[in-house]
Chains A and B, each alone.
Chain A
Amino acid sequence: MKSIVIDITNEGEVKIETKGFTGKACIEESQFLKDLLGHETARQLTPVYYSKANQKEVTRKHLPLCG
Chain B
Amino acid sequence: MSHVARIELEINDLDSLKAACKSLGLEFVPDQKTFAWYGQHVGDYPLPEGFTLEDMGHCDHAIHVPDAQYEIGVVKKRGKYTLLWDFYHAGGLETALGRGAGKLKQAYALERVKKEARQRNYRYLEKKTDQGIRITLMVQ
Contact = CB atoms under 8 A, between A and B. Distances in A.
Interface of A: 1-23, 25-27, 29-30, 32-34, 36-46, 48-49
Interface of B: 1-10, 12-13, 98-106, 108-110, 112-113, 116, 120, 129, 131-140
B6 A8 contact: no
Tell me the dominant secondary structure on chain B's binding face.
mixed
Contacts of B108: 12
Most buried by B among A17, A20, A29, A41: A17
Given A12-B105, A14-B8, 14 more contacts: A2-B138, A5-B134, A6-B137, A10-B102, A10-B103, A12-B106, A18-B2, A19-B1, A23-B2, A37-B109, A38-B9, A42-B5, A43-B3, A44-B4
Contacts of B109: 6, 8, 12, 14, 37
B100 A45 contact: no
A7 B134 contact: yes
Contacts of B129: 7
Nearest to A40: B5
Contacts of B8: 14, 38-41
Contacts of A10: 98, 102-103, 106, 131-132
15 contacts: A4-B137, A6-B135, A6-B136, A7-B132, A10-B132, A12-B100, A14-B9, A18-B1, A19-B2, A30-B5, A36-B113, A39-B7, A40-B6, A48-B2, A49-B3
